[in-house]
Amino acid sequence: MLKKKDKYVVAVVGATGAVGNEMVSILEERNFPVERLRLFASERSEGKTMEFHDKPVEIEILSENVFKGIDIALFSAGAERSIHFAPLAAKAGCVVIDNSSAWRMDPEVPLVVPEVNPHDLKWHKGIIANPNCSTIQMVVALSPIHDAAKIKRIVVTTFQSVSGTGRKAMDELLNQTSALLNFKDIKPSVYPHQIAFNCLPHIDKFLDNGYTKEEMKMVNETQKIMGDKSIRITATTVRVPVFRSHSESVNIETEKKLSANEVRAILSDAPGVVVFDAPEKNIYPFPADAACKDDVYVGRIREDESIENGINMWIVADNLRKGAALNAVQIAEKLIEMT
């Protein structure tokens, strides 16, 4: 349990990664009450430092007995590390906010988006899970609509940027783009196929039911966060040659009829959401605009003319910020507020 203090010893595990880097920046930008920042990564990062409030912080190698004295640990070093180290950190008295899929569906672990289910933070036992990026931006936009009109079914297709796969994937997109523009051959390594000038309907591993793990994360996590197993959800997740921000085409069917204007009004009042929807002026959200911003942007809101109570919309957010690092820091801020 977190004890109320003026400032906290905070750790970022996986600090040198795409998400970890963003966590450090966000802690600094939001002036998080940090007494001391400890940064952990693998032995590959030994000797490196990162800047925090204009001072260098040394990267420490992650090991089993580093957690004593740490109040809050933001984990983003992959599920394997989380499975092994998060319980050790929690045992040492630290509150772990874990960005991986390791603990998300564990019934003993709350899965939290602060705009949607902050109440679930009350029952944590030392580990709190941060949802998948595609789930986070979708539930921030859909939860207020669910409250108003009860969503019966969601059909979502994602357009996910390469930063969702990490630093190496960002390098791969850059290198392939530059090679192809210079008429050179490319050899895919992070993805199974060319990602530059292409779209891959394949994120994470394929499962026996024909869906990918990423698609089933969206289904299961959405039901857990929204606290409603009855919502029927089907997802198709697609990797696109964009560096930052995920986009989603979302179709919902509600119990109660809502007009497009009513949806716009609900979302205009929703925390963390910006309605960006004036198609007559070519105004709609897109990834280049949402990159490095905190809000979830919603546009192209319209009634689905093929069913009785249907709405279509387009949801865009920065996957490294609201989809990962920012949501984790907001969980920590909410925990402090509730302490």
Q: Provide the annotated active-site residues.
A: 133, 246
Question: Which of 272, 295, 298, 269 minimizes the C-alpha distance to 285?
Answer: 298
Nearer to ligand 3JN, 38 or 217 (CB): 217
Q: Could you write out the DSSP letters of every residue in 277-288?
A: -BGGGTB---HH
Q: How far is Cα 25 from Cα 52, in angstroms, rounded to an integer?
A: 8
CB of 318 to ligand 3JN, least distance (A): 12
Interaction mask 41-70, ligand NAP, x per CB under 6 A: xx-xx----------------x--------
Place of tokens 């085409």: 249
Q: Determine if 133 is a binding residue for ligand NAP (CB under 6 A).
A: yes
Nearer to ligand 3JN, 100 or 247 (CB): 100
Other CB atoms within 10 Å distance of the CB of residue 296: 27
For residues 291 and 318, the answer to whether their CB atoms sit within 8 Å is yes
Helix (H) or strand (E) holding 167: helix 167-181
Q: How far is Cα 42 from Cα 44, in angstroms, rounded to an integer?
A: 5
C-alpha dihedral, 241 to 165 to 140 to 6, nearest 10°: -130
Residues 294-323 that bind ligand 3JN (CB under 6 A): 319
CB of 67 to ligand 3JN, least distance (A): 20
Selection from ligand NAP, ligand 3JN, none that 160 binds (CB < 5 to 8 A by kind) is: ligand 3JN
Interaction mask 193-232, ligand 3JN, x per CB under 6 A: ----------x-------------x---------------
For residues 159 and 238, the answer to whether their CB atoms sit within 8 Å is yes
Selection from ligand NAP, ligand 3JN, none that 203 binds (CB < 5 to 8 A by kind) is: ligand 3JN
Selection from ligand 3JN, ligand NAP, none that 20 binds (CB < 5 to 8 A by kind) is: ligand NAP
Helix (H) or strand (E) holding 39: strand 34-41
Residues 23-62 that bind ligand 3JN (CB under 6 A): none
Q: How far is Cα 249 from Cα 163, in angstroms, rounded to an integer?
A: 19
The two three-digit tokens of residue 328, written as one number: 């984790």
Q: Determine if 77 is a binding residue for ligand 3JN (CB under 6 A).
A: no
Q: Could you write out the DSSP letters of every residue in 250-262?
A: EEEEESS---HHH
Residues 144-203 that bind ligand 3JN (CB under 6 A): 160, 164-165, 203
Nearer to ligand NAP, 78 or 118 (CB): 78
| Residue ranges binding ligand NAP (CB under 6 A) | 14-20, 41-42, 44-45, 62, 76-79, 81, 99-100, 130, 132-133, 164, 166-167, 323-324
